Chains A and B, each alone.
Chain A
Amino acid sequence: MVFSSLQFIYIFLPVFFMVYFLTPAKDRNVILYLGSLVFYTVGVIECPWYLLLLLSSVLVDFAAGLAMGKGKKRRTFFLIAGVGYHLVFLIFFKYMNQFIPENNWLLPAGISFYSFQGISYLADVYRKKCKPEPSFLKVATYISMFPQLIAGPIVTYDEVADHLDKRRHSKRRFLKGMEFFIGGLALKVLLANPMGSLFTELGTIGYESVSTPLAWMGILAFTFQIYFDFFGYSLMAIGLGYCMGFKLPKNFNHPYMSKTMTEFWRRWHITLGRWFREYVYIPMGGNRKGGFRTLINLAVVWFLTGIWHGSSVNFLMWAGFILIFILLEKLFLRKIMEKFSLLGHLYMFLLIPLSWVFFAITDFSSILVFMGRLFPFDGNFGVYPGDYLEYLGSYWYLFIPAFFLATPLPYKLYGKCPVALKVVGMLVLLGGATYCMFRGMNDPFLYFRF
Chain B
Amino acid sequence: MKKQTGNNIPMILLSLLFVLDVFLVSGYFYPDAEGNFWVKMLAFPNRYEVQEEYGELADENMEEVLPSESEENPETTGDIIGIIEAEAEEEQKDNDQEKVITIEDVQALAGSMEISYANSLFIGDSRMVGIKKFSGLEEGTFYADTGMSIYNVYRGEKVEGYPRKIKLEDLLADADFDRIYVMMGINELGYHFDVTKSHYDEFINFLREREPDAEIYLQANLHVTAKSSARDSVHNNEGLDKMNEMLAEYVDGEHIFYMDINPMFDDENGALDSEYTGDGVHVKGKYHAAWLEWITEETAFIEAWLALNGAKE
Contacts and interface: CB of A to CB of B under 8 A. Distances in A.
A282 to B, nearest CB: 32
B235 interface: yes
B11 A140 contact: yes
A443 interface: yes
Contacts, number: 129
A220 to B, nearest CB: 19
Interface in A34-87: 34, 37, 41-48, 51-52, 55, 59
B18 A34 contact: yes
Contacts of A450: 125-127, 146-147, 186-187, 235, 281-282
Interface in A134-193: 134-137, 140
Contact of B134 (A33, A45, A51, A384): A384
B187 A449 contact: yes
Contact of A106 (B22, B49, B284): B49
A30 B49 CA distance: 31
Interface in A410-450: 443-445, 447-450
A447 B51 CA distance: 15
A69 B296 CA distance: 79
B229 to A, nearest CB: 12
A65 to B, nearest CB: 12
Interface string B11-44: 1101110110011001000000000010101111
Given A55-B19, A206-B278, A449 B146 contact: yes
A34 B14 CA distance: 9
B40 to A, nearest CB: 8
A7 B279 CA distance: 29
A59 B13 CA distance: 11
Nearest to A56: B19
Given A37-B18, A137-B7, A140-B11, A200 B146 contact: no
A51 B22 contact: yes
Contacts of B155: none
A321 B127 CA distance: 37
Contact of A205 (B11, B37, B41, B285): B285
Contacts of B15: 37, 55, 140
A51 B278 contact: no
Contacts of A206: 278, 284-286
A204 B278 contact: yes
A205 B231 contact: no
A109 interface: yes
B78 interface: no
Contact of A449 (B43, B47, B147): B147
Interface string B170-209: 0000000000000000110110000000000000000000
Nearest to B43: A45
A203 interface: yes
A346 interface: no
A63 to B, nearest CB: 10
Contacts of B127: 450
Nearest to B281: A450
A44 B47 CA distance: 11
A104 B230 contact: yes
Nearest to B12: A136
A206 B235 CA distance: 22
Interface in A14-48: 30, 33-34, 37, 41-48
Given A37-B15, A55-B16, A136-B11, A209 B23 contact: no
Contact of B46 (A44, A140, A200): A44
Nearest to B151: A443
A328 interface: no
A5 B18 CA distance: 24
B92 interface: no
Nearest to B228: A448
B278 A134 contact: no
A366 B50 CA distance: 30
A209 B133 CA distance: 12
A280 B146 CA distance: 48
A45 B12 CA distance: 21
Nearest to A34: B18
The 10 closest A-B pairs by CB, nearest first: A206-B284, A445-B190, A104-B48, A209-B285, A205-B285, A449-B147, A136-B8, A46-B46, A46-B49, A203-B278
8 contacts: A34-B18, A205-B285, A444-B37, A447-B47, A448-B234, A449-B146, A449-B147, A450-B126
Interface of B: 1, 4-5, 7-8, 11-12, 14-16, 18-19, 22-23, 26, 37, 39, 41-51, 125-127, 130, 133-134, 146-147, 186-187, 189-190, 230-232, 234-235, 278-279, 281-282, 284-286
Given A48-B22, A106-B49, A450-B187, 5 more contacts: A46-B43, A136-B12, A208-B286, A443-B190, A450-B281
